[in-house]
Amino acid sequence: MFLTSILHVCTFCLTSAGVSEESPIRPGDRISIVGNTFAERMQLDGQFESALHAAFPSHDLSVRNFGWSGDEVALQPRPYKFLGMKEWLSRHDTDVLIACFGMNESFSGYEGLAAFQRDLEAWLDEQLAASYNGETPPRIILVSPIAHEDLGSPLPDGEDHNFVLDRYVQVMRQSARKKGAIFIDLFEPTRDAMKISDEPLTINGIHMNESGYRFITCEMLAAMNVSIPSQDAVDVDSASDHEALRQAVLRKNRLFFQRWRPVNTEYVYGRRHEPFGSENFPEEMKRLDDLIEQAEKQVWSLPPGEAGCLSIEVGYR
């Protein structure tokens, strides 16, 4: 039996214009998202990126998603001769680096905490020593893993894993503070929301569904000093405009994914690059770059609308 009350999870709901001067996002910023499956799947959902454009409609933000499922802060295997992450971040002239780590590493248990902290701080030092935009180190936003949701049998309930995750999140918070990075805690708010939500926020306990990504979008923007309204406060026309913006974001993301992770890199970069790849692919990649640029300009040209924060119905699953 469900309770009838509704919890508006976004307690900072004002308007999409509610941006603090202290926000780390600046006009013309070129933003790169890196990290694990959580990061990679953001490009398939589009809610965070479209909400970011809506919050900063005149900033002409350029966002690229370099997330790769399975990535850890110190382990990022790639195909043979695949271009390194530093080169991609430099190609994008990255100003802001949104990094999502900690979930994969947490499966090493308590025994892996010391190594994780060491590797994370070394990675932060490496990024802060770089100037991908040719002028300044990137502003780093470090994003914690979400909580492990209990979806019932046959999936694990996540109780033990959440104890471990909590420790990894503490390490991330400490390391971010030590290195001067912004830290976004998604573990605590998702853990609390999962306890009361009528509907699941993940597809399997650790990977978010559409509702989950809408929820974390508000949490991430709040940590960037941006406030957006509750979904109940958004009118139909504004929601329709925002959905059109999200679809434009998804189109741009699909094009960029084909650019940076083509289906068969063996012909693009690898051992079969010669004799024909070196002749055909440079021109094809240039055409793809042009399409991505056009798609991004389309994103900037659309009315941003508003999506609104997810309202979670309190109940028992």
In a domain, 255, yes or no: no
Whether residue 229 is predicted with pLDDT greater than 50 in this model: the reply is yes
Tokens encoding 47: 């809610």
> Of 124-133, 148-157, 234-243, 285-294, which range is least confident?
234-243
In degrees, rounded to 5, the angle at the alpha carbon of residue 241 between the alpha carbons of residues 236 and 247 is: 125
What is the amino acid identity at position 245? L
Is 276 a domain residue? no
What band does 277 get if pLDDT is binned at 50, 70 and 90? low
Band of residue 98 on the pLDDT scale cut at 50, 70, 90? very high
Nearest CA-CA partner of 155 in 38, 39, 45, 317:
317
In tens, the pLDDT along 99-145 reads 999 999 999 999 999 999 999 999 999 999 999 999 999 999 999 99
* Measured distance CA(272)–CA(181) in Å, rounded: 41
The answer to whether 59 and 27 have CB atoms below 8 angstroms apart is: yes
The rounded distance, in Å, linking the Cα atoms of 90 and 134 is 8
pLDDT surpassing 90 at residue 265: no
Q: How confident is the model at residue 302 (pLDDT cuts 50, 70, 90)?
A: very high
The amino acid occupying position 248 is A
Q: Which domain holds residue 74?
A: 6-235
**What pLDDT, on a 0 to 100 scale, did the predictor assign at position 9?**
45
Among candidate residues 153, 145, 150, 156, the one with its CA nearest the CA of residue 200: 150
Strands (E), 59-208: 62-65, 96-100, 139-143, 182-184
CA distances in angstroms from 300 to 28, 66, 129, listed in the order given: 11, 21, 31
Residue with tokens 């040719």: 134
Q: How confident is the model at residue 254 (pLDDT cuts 50, 70, 90)?
A: very high
Rounded to two decimals, the pTM is 0.91
Tokens found for residue 4: 């009838």
**CA nearest 144: which of 101, 106, 180?**
101
Name the DSSP letter for residue 310. Answer: P
Ordered DSSP codes for 143-167: EPPPPPP---TTS---HHHHHHHHH
For residues 238 and 305, the answer to whether their CB atoms sit within 8 Å is yes
- With cut-offs at 50, 70 and 90, classify the pLDDT of residue 311: low
pLDDT classification of 306: cutoffs 50, 70, 90: confident
Quick: pLDDT tens for 3-40.
Answer: 333 344 443 333 333 454 578 999 999 999 999 999 99
pLDDT in tens, 148-203: 999 999 999 999 999 999 999 999 999 999 999 999 999 999 999 999 999 999 99
What amino acid is encoded at 17 in this protein? A
Kindly state whether residue 157 falls inside one of the protein's structural domains. Answer: yes
Whether 250 is covered by a domain: the verdict is no
**pLDDT tier for residue 314 given thresholds of 50, 70 and 90:** low
Residue 309 lies in a domain: no
Tokens of 82: 């695949």
| pLDDT in the model for residue 4 | 32
pLDDT the model gives residue 315? 53
Average pLDDT, the chain: 89
CB 37 within 8 A of CB 207: yes
Q: How far apart are CA 117 and CA 227, in angstroms?
A: 31
Task: Kindly state the DSSP code that residue 273 receives in the 8-state scheme.
Answer: -
Contact 302, 245 (CB under 8 A): yes
pLDDT in tens, 37-46: 999 999 999 9
Q: Please, what's the largest Cα pairwise distance for the chain?
A: 67
- Report the C-alpha gap between 44 and 31 in whole angstroms: 17
> What is the reported pLDDT for 291?
98
Does 167 reside within a domain?
A: yes
CATH code, domain with 62: 3.40.50.1110
CA distance 132 to 134: 5
Provide the pLDDT for residue 104. Answer: 98
User: What total number of domains does the chain contain?
Assistant: 1
Residue 258 lies in a domain: no
Determine the distance from the C-alpha atom of residue 173 to the mean position of all C-alpha atoms in its chain, rounded to a whole number. Answer: 17
Q: Is 49 a domain residue?
A: yes
